[in-house]
Chains A and B, each alone.
Chain A
Amino acid sequence: MDESRSGYDSAEPQLWSLHPRAVPLWRLKALFRGTVLTAAVLLVEWSLDLPLPFGLATIVLAVLVVANAIVTPPLRYRAWRFALREDDLLLRYGVLFRTSAIVPHVRIQHVDTHHGPLDRALGLADLLVYTAGSRGAIMTIPALARDDAESLRDTLAELSGAGDAV
Chain B
Amino acid sequence: MPSEAQRLHPFGILSRALRLVRQLLLPAVLGGASIGDDLGGILFWVLLLLAVPSLLIGIAHWIAFRYRVEADDLIIDSGVLSRRRRVIPIDRIQNVDLEQSPLERLARVAELRIETASGGREAEATLSVLPLDQARAVQSDLLARRRRAREQAPGEQAQEPAAEPLLRLSTPDLALAGATSNEAGLIAAGLATLLEVAGRFGALAGIGEVVDDAVAAGAGAGAVGVVAALAIMVLAFFVLGWLVSIVATVVRFHGFTLTRHGDDLRREHGLFSRRHTTVPLARVQAVRVEQTLPRRALGLVALKIDTAGAGPHAGSGGRGEAHIPIARLPDLDRLLPSILADGAVDPRRLRPVAPASRRRETTRLSATALLVAAALWVSGIPRPWLALLLLPAAWLLARARYRSRGWELSRSHLLARDGVLTRTTWIVPERKIQTLHVTQTPFQRRWDLATLLVDTAAGTRAARVIDLTGPTAVALMDRLADRRADDPPHADPRAPGDPPHADRQAP
A residues bordering B, Cβ < 8 Å? 5-8, 10, 86-88, 94, 96-104, 106-107, 131-137, 139, 165-166
Contact = CB atoms under 8 A, between A and B. Distances in A.
Nearest to B317: A134
Contact of A136 (B285, B453, B485): B453
8 contacts: A7-B448, A8-B474, A99-B438, A100-B438, A104-B481, A133-B435, A136-B453, A166-B283
A98 B459 contact: no
A135 B485 contact: no
B437 A166 contact: no
B469 A7 contact: yes
Contact of B445 (A6, A87, A132): A6
Nearest to A105: B485
B471 interface: yes
Contact of B117 (A94, A135, A165): A165
A5 B435 CA distance: 24
Given A131-B435, A135-B453, A135-B462, 11 more contacts: A8-B470, A10-B478, A88-B481, A99-B437, A101-B436, A106-B485, A134-B317, A134-B455, A135-B460, A135-B461, A137-B455
Contacts of B471: 7
A47 to B, nearest CB: 33
Contacts of A8: 438, 470, 474
Contacts of B505: none
B435 A87 contact: no
A134 B439 contact: no
B439 A99 contact: yes
Interface in B92-150: 117
Interface of B: 117, 282-283, 285, 308, 317, 319, 432-442, 445, 448, 450, 453, 455-462, 469-471, 473-474, 477-478, 481-482, 484-485
A133 B455 contact: yes
A98 B440 contact: yes
B436 A102 contact: yes
Contacts of B319: 134
Say whether chain A's binding surface is mostly helix, strand, loop, or mixed: loop
A100 B477 contact: yes
Given A7-B469, A10-B474, A100-B477, A136 B439 contact: no
A7 B469 CA distance: 9
B285 A166 contact: yes
Contact of B437 (A6, A10, A136): A136
Contacts of B477: 100, 102
Contacts of A6: 440, 445, 448, 450, 470
Given A5-B470, A6-B470, A88-B481, A134 B445 contact: no
Contacts of B455: 131, 133-137
A104 B478 CA distance: 11
Given A133-B455, A166-B285, A101 B448 contact: no
A88 B308 contact: no
Nearest to A131: B434
Contacts of A88: 481, 485
Contacts of B481: 87-88, 102, 104
A61 B384 CA distance: 36
> Among the interface residues A106, A131, A135, which one has the most CB atoms of the partner chain B within 10 A?
A135
Given A133-B456, A135-B460, A96 B442 contact: yes
A133 B462 contact: yes
A73 B202 CA distance: 60
A103 B480 CA distance: 11
Contacts of B460: 134-135
Candidate in A133, A134, A136 with the most chain B CB atoms within 10 angstroms: A134
A81 to B, nearest CB: 14
Question: In the complex, which of the residues B448, B450, B458 has the most CB atoms of chain A within 10 Å of its own CB atom?
Answer: B450
A106 B440 CA distance: 26
Contacts of B308: 132, 166
B434 A137 contact: yes
A138 B53 CA distance: 44
A72 to B, nearest CB: 15
A134 B442 contact: no
Nearest to A133: B434
A104 B484 contact: yes
Nearest to B462: A135
Given A134-B455, A136-B455, A137-B455, A103 B439 contact: no
B458 to A, nearest CB: 7
Contacts of B482: 87
Contacts of A103: 435
B284 to A, nearest CB: 11
Contacts of B484: 87, 104, 106
B309 to A, nearest CB: 9
